[in-house]
Chain A
Amino acid sequence: MALRTLNSVAARNLARRKGRYLLTASGIALGVAVLFAVQIMSGATNRALDRAIHGGAGKDDVYITPVGSFDASFPPGVFERVQKLPDVESAGAGTGFRSAVTSGREKPAIDSRRPNFVFVNGVDLATDRKVREYDVRDGRLFAGAADEIVLGPHIAKTVGVKVGDDVAVAAPAGQITLKVVGVLADSGIGTGNGGDIAVTSIPLSQRMLGKGAVFTSIDVVLRDGVDAKKWIETQRNALGDGVTMQKATDGDAGFRSFIAAVNGALTLGSAIALFVGGFLIFLTFSLAVAERTRTYGTMRALGALPKQIRSVVVREAALLGLGSSVVGLVLGYALAAAAMQLVSSLLYLRLPGLGLPVGPAGFSIAIGVIISVAAAWLPGRRAARLSPVTAMREGGVADDKAGRPVIGAVLVGLGMALVFALPGNGARVFPTLLVLFGAVMLVPIMLGPLARFLGAVTRRLARGVGAIAVMHLVKERSRSAYTLALVMVVLAMILAVGTSNASMAHTVDKVIERQAGGAVQVGAPGALDPAVERELTAIDGVKATTPMRFGQLDVVETGAPPRQFFTMIDPATYFSVGSFPWVDGNDGDARDAMTAGSGIILPEQQAIKLDVKRGGPVRVRTSAGVKRFTLVGTFGQIGNFPGPVLSVKDAALFGAGRPNGFLLSVAGGRAGIERVRRTILTNLKPRYNVEVDTSQTIKDQARAQLQGFFALAYALLFVAALVGILGLANTMVVSVLSRTREVGMLRSTGTLRRQARAMVLVEASTLALVAYLLALPLGWLLSTGIVVSQRATLGFSIDYVFPWLLVPALVILTVLVAAVGSLIPARRIGRLEIVDALRFD
């Protein structure tokens, strides 16, 4: 006796229909896979950021920097004042700058795009060792103020240098050759800036910076028990204007929020995959309960309580959910590995190994099982409510109420309202699911009329018996409706993502066209020598140049992100070389206002967040205290560049000195641009280590990034489409099974095998085409919501562009879905022997 409890029947049921349940399990497996992968990625990116920040920060509690541009430094006396502040246990000043290094043995290759950027930090080892760990892997630390440098492990590997080698460092004061005396271990300070760090003495770094004996950062270690946030609040004013303070662990908040947005989008994808998976389970169990009406009725007649019957159904789903979730974990691990490579290459972020994420694994399994159980709850309840009398009847089937149109309409309305109201992809998960649920409830009332309408055409596929197939679809409304809804949801999501993609691509083109302004962009990791501008202007083909300065800015308004990237333009020359993708404003007005000073141009989304209109005030922290600027205009922005835009007229307020880059307008079309690019790389790069980009390559990179993210979304949808096909195939198989006798009768009265096969195709194609018709408005509705609310995530308005080509493409996909979905059942029906079919019970 193997059967010990009634619940063991659940496992037997699963084992009996392995094929069908394998198909059903695929939906949950895929959903769990994506969910697991998202958690692994989220954890890995956060760990990577934590490691980079904590490793670099060490015991540092508060990080103090000068207000303004990357070229800014502290006014004299700030370090001494910091040391005397209350609760300061120790403080260390440093002089750092962004730079690039190349191996001293090789001349930089002209087209080299090797990422050799590095943060050079001049420190006083005696004080800084109290804050950070200095573990040297090879060699030793630098001695005194000699021309020696110690490299982080990653940059040493990237550039290919070892202890004893020379490296050329592109410093703001000019290129300098230094000897590598040590390579840091992959711990402590060696993990700062992802290992792309170089450490040397303060006198040497000050020499390289070329601004005299200045400091650019101060690390503060507070006494035990002192809260850094509160300390900053009380001491901010003690140092006067011109400095910003932040908790050492708050670095890269903007980057984290971007990662969170990416993970939010993936979570939405995962939720949809799980919804489709749960739907498939609901569908399968609804069919199973209908099939097993007599079994469950018999059990009731034999004395099984309703809760025992429900338990059998629900346990069956739980077992299925558990199995598919475990498979999902394996898939998810592989998916995470692939996705992390993609994210790593897109975001230039080195991610750590996947490790063994036990917590996320447990969570993903729990979600998979919970969704499976929830999906089977209704069928289980239906089974529990079966009247035992039904068991007495031959061919008795469970009553299956189909749809609640009023609730459905309310859910669609409520969901859409929330989609528009809530910002961010993560927050849209719930309302999107509401819309989908509502749409599913609306399907049954639309199925009958639409099936009759489309059936007039599709029934011709099976001459004579096609009408019977269409009739089945109309009569067996509940089963057909749920399958139809599954296909509809998949098609609608493809349409929604397609529309989102088309709209984004269109907008990206528009924004980048103007944002990338200037045919050629010249940049360097540190500040540029003033001589660079003269040399650029002298190049044959260069019509005009305009300097660009960058830095970090505190907008002192509620809702503004801390220490955001800003760009400083020279209004006298900027607008003859570049422009902005204006949402509100124009070049002429902006030039005038920025020339007058105290003007600021903001990305549209930030202006909305701050609730400020053109002409309104924006308070900004400057080296002369918090100043009121006037909003000159707003523009669309992709990514975090250029950020808030200030005028060089206000450079003194932000410690902005030497430019960090130039925009060039060039004569001679593409050939002219290429000629200028090569001239710069040949003449300027060896001396100033400048990087050259053309607006075309920037546009291509932006598009590639966008396509990279959409590729992920399409991959998820491809998977969802597969699940939809599985659902359709599942329903068609059950449909054929339940009509075996009828098919036998039709065959016995002269229906050909191919006619019987064609009946399946008629039913599947009618169902899929009705799903397609309903998916069009649903897809449009969802895409409108997604496009409008994407502004919140991406920071720019998106023009709605409907991808009309997708409409006929989806018809082809729909027909394919129907054809593939009816393949197995049609084969089965074609092989049926009449006598066996007539005997089928």
Chain B
Amino acid sequence: MGTEAGAVVLEARHLSKAYHQGGAVEQVLDDANLEVGAGRFVSVMGPSGSGKSTLLHLLGGLDTPDKGDVLLDGQALSAMSDDERTRLRRHRIGIVYQFFNLVPVLTVEENVALPAVIDGKAPASYAAKLAEVLELVGMAEHKGKQPAQLSGGQQQRAAIARALFIEPAVLLADEPTGNVDMRTGSEILALFADAQRDLNQTIVMVTHDPRSAGYADEVLLLRDGAVASTLDVGRATRGVAKKARDHESRPRAVLQWLETLDAGGAARRTRV
């Protein structure tokens, strides 16, 4: 969206991040690198504590690395002040959370329009876009409800609408299906796939679920704070998948890939 197809939208260079608790130091990321091309759907997997969420926070400019840098459309986040990074998030980065994070006192449409409200825009200037994005996620009929009146799936749809509303350069999702049932999870993932297909939306999704990861074009495995391996899901299922989004063969391919890696144990640092 707004970026030439195929060009690198998001890039992580030599990211390192450690957390200090008391006297103990936990190195969560250690020289992690990745590149995400425009319109690509990338899934990040890895065992608990491998640094998936930390990587997502750094990519979204929510947190700053100890070393290395994140570049969005070639702009280095480390060169920006906190306010500049905040404005970048407001205009260029959409984030979807596991726990929806809707503001409880606002209605669905108010939650979706929140980035514009924060930006001080007049409601008339974004009314059409708001209607469009609510329609896109199937929440138009629930736009006047408050989060407490919605199911988990509906809340997540509203959260996705909020992320898409700003037409972000990249949509980051942290375990977006982690708090909903399997069927609702599939609907959520289908929404991501639709956004990629119809809007050429670049997506980076953190998940521990191979079935969810199967929706992506590429899957990265984080291990010991760095990208240990990648899987091109399309290539792995070429000739096996009956259609572009074959929801049986693609998760299977991811599972097989993970089992192979576990068996081999060989991790090599890879550039995506």
Q: A302-B162, A303-B91 are in contact. Are A1 and B118 (CB under 8 A)?
A: no
Q: How far is the CB of B56 from chain A (nearest CB, A)?
A: 8
- What is the bound-complex CA distance between A3 and B82, given in angstroms? 26
Task: Let me know if A295 and B110 touch, CB within 8 A.
Answer: no
Size bracket of the A interface: 20 to 34
- What is the bound-complex CA distance between A388 and B97, given in angstroms? 12
Q: A301-B60, A302-B115 are in contact. Are A4 and B95 (CB under 8 A)?
A: no
The winner among B82, B91, B97, B122 for most chain A CB atoms within 10 A is B97
Answer yes or no: A626 CB below 8 A from chain B CBs. Answer: no
Q: How far is the CB of A116 from chain B (nearest CB, A)?
A: 67
Task: Let me know if A3 and B110 touch, CB within 8 A.
Answer: yes
Interface of A (DSSP majority class): helix
**A221-229, A389-397, A735-743, A827-835 - interface stretch:** A389-397
- What is the bound-complex CA distance between A298 and B106, given in angstroms? 13
* 0/1 interface trace, chain B 156-192, chain A, CB 8 Å (1 if under): 0000001000000000001000000000000000000
Task: Let me know if B117 and A5 touch, CB within 8 A.
Answer: yes
Task: Let me know if B113 and A305 touch, CB within 8 A.
Answer: no
Task: Let me know if A9 and B105 touch, CB within 8 A.
Answer: yes
Which partner residue on chain B sits nearest A12 by CB separation? B105
One of B62, B99, B118 near A304 (C-beta < 8 A): B118
One of B98, B102, B110 near A1 (C-beta < 8 A): B110
- What is the bound-complex CA distance between A16 and B147, given in angstroms? 13
Task: Let me know if A303 and B103 touch, CB within 8 A.
Answer: no
Q: A303-B91, A389-B57, A392-B53 are in contact. Are A295 and B104 (CB under 8 A)?
A: yes
- What is the bound-complex CA distance between A340 and B83, given in angstroms? 55
Answer yes or no: A299 CB below 8 A from chain B CBs. Answer: yes
Per the 8 Å Cβ criterion, residues 127-177 of B in contact with A are 127, 130, 162, 174
Task: Let me know if A295 and B103 touch, CB within 8 A.
Answer: yes
Task: Let me know if B103 and A299 touch, CB within 8 A.
Answer: yes
Task: Let me know if B105 and A389 touch, CB within 8 A.
Answer: no
The winner among B82, B86, B95, B162 for most chain A CB atoms within 10 A is B86
Total CB contacts across the A-B interface at under 8 A: 91
Contacts of B110 in A (CB 8 A): 1-3
Task: Let me know if B63 and A299 touch, CB within 8 A.
Answer: no
The winner among A9, A303, A387 for most chain B CB atoms within 10 A is A303
Q: Which residues of B does A touch, CB under 8 Å?
A: 53, 57, 60, 62-63, 82-83, 86-91, 95, 97-99, 101-106, 109-110, 113-115, 117-120, 122-123, 127, 130, 162, 174
Contacts of A389 in B (CB 8 A): 57, 62-63
Q: How far is the CB of A388 from chain B (nearest CB, A)?
A: 4
Q: Can you name 29 A-B residue pairings with CB atoms under 8 Å?
A: A1-B113, A1-B123, A1-B127, A3-B117, A4-B122, A4-B123, A5-B120, A9-B106, A12-B105, A15-B105, A16-B104, A16-B105, A294-B101, A295-B101, A297-B101, A298-B102, A298-B103, A299-B118, A301-B60, A301-B62, A301-B95, A303-B89, A304-B118, A305-B83, A306-B86, A387-B63, A389-B57, A391-B97, A392-B98
Contacts of A305 in B (CB 8 A): 83, 86-87
Q: Which residues of A does B touch, CB under 8 Å?
A: 1-6, 9, 12-13, 15-16, 294-295, 297-306, 308, 387-389, 391-392, 394, 841
Task: Let me know if A394 and B99 touch, CB within 8 A.
Answer: yes
One of B89, B98, B99, B106 near A12 (C-beta < 8 A): B106
Which partner residue on chain A sits nearest B101 by CB separation? A298
Contacts of B106 in A (CB 8 A): 3, 9, 12
The winner among A6, A16, A304, A387 for most chain B CB atoms within 10 A is A304
- What is the bound-complex CA distance between A427 and B162, given in angstroms? 56
Task: Let me know if B95 and A6 touch, CB within 8 A.
Answer: no
Contacts of A841 in B (CB 8 A): 99
- What is the bound-complex CA distance between A820 and B150, given in angstroms? 36
Task: Let me know if B104 and A303 touch, CB within 8 A.
Answer: no
Task: Let me know if A303 and B90 touch, CB within 8 A.
Answer: yes
Contacts of B82 in A (CB 8 A): 306
Q: How far is the CB of A304 from chain B (nearest CB, A)?
A: 5
Task: Let me know if A299 and B114 touch, CB within 8 A.
Answer: yes
- What is the bound-complex CA distance between A298 and B101, given in angstroms? 6
Task: Let me know if A391 and B101 touch, CB within 8 A.
Answer: yes
One of A2, A16, A387, A392 near B97 (C-beta < 8 A): A392
Contacts of B122 in A (CB 8 A): 4
- What is the bound-complex CA distance between A9 and B82, given in angstroms? 23
Which partner residue on chain A sits nearest B162 by CB separation? A302
Task: Let me know if A9 and B174 touch, CB within 8 A.
Answer: no
Task: Let me know if A302 and B89 touch, CB within 8 A.
Answer: yes
Task: Let me know if B103 and A308 touch, CB within 8 A.
Answer: no
- What is the bound-complex CA distance between A299 and B174, given in angstroms? 16
Q: How far is the CB of B98 from chain A (nearest CB, A)?
A: 8
One of B109, B162, B174 near A392 (C-beta < 8 A): B174
Task: Let me know if A3 and B162 touch, CB within 8 A.
Answer: no
- What is the bound-complex CA distance between A702 and B60, given in angstroms? 74
Contacts of A295 in B (CB 8 A): 101, 103-104
Q: How far is the CB of A660 from chain B (nearest CB, A)?
A: 73
- What is the bound-complex CA distance between A15 and B122, given in angstroms? 24
Contacts of B86 in A (CB 8 A): 300, 303-306
- What is the bound-complex CA distance between A6 and B114, given in angstroms? 8
- What is the bound-complex CA distance between A394 and B110, given in angstroms? 23
One of B63, B87, B99, B119 near A294 (C-beta < 8 A): B99
Which partner residue on chain B sits nearest A17 by CB separation? B105
Q: How far is the CB of A166 from chain B (nearest CB, A)?
A: 78
Contacts of B89 in A (CB 8 A): 301-303, 388
Q: How far is the CB of B3 from chain A (nearest CB, A)?
A: 19
- What is the bound-complex CA distance between A651 and B106, given in angstroms? 84
Contacts of B90 in A (CB 8 A): 302-304
The winner among A300, A305, A391, A392 for most chain B CB atoms within 10 A is A392
Task: Let me know if A3 and B113 touch, CB within 8 A.
Answer: yes
- What is the bound-complex CA distance between A299 and B127, given in angstroms? 20
Contacts of B120 in A (CB 8 A): 5
Which partner residue on chain A sits nearest B178 by CB separation? A394
Contacts of B95 in A (CB 8 A): 301-302
Task: Let me know if A1 and B109 touch, CB within 8 A.
Answer: yes
- What is the bound-complex CA distance between A6 and B115, given in angstroms? 9
Contacts of A298 in B (CB 8 A): 97, 101-103
- What is the bound-complex CA distance between A301 and B109, given in angstroms? 18
Contacts of A391 in B (CB 8 A): 97, 101
- What is the bound-complex CA distance between A565 and B120, given in angstroms? 69
Contacts of A3 in B (CB 8 A): 106, 110, 113, 117
- What is the bound-complex CA distance between A16 and B127, given in angstroms? 26
Supply 7 further A-B pairs (C-beta < 8 A) apart from A6-B117, A295-B103, A304-B118: A1-B123, A4-B122, A9-B106, A298-B97, A301-B60, A301-B89, A305-B87
Q: How far is the CB of B77 from chain A (nearest CB, A)?
A: 13
Q: A389-B63, A391-B97 are in contact. Are A302 and B104 (CB under 8 A)?
A: no
- What is the bound-complex CA distance between A6 and B109, given in angstroms? 14
Which partner residue on chain B sits nearest A14 by CB separation? B105
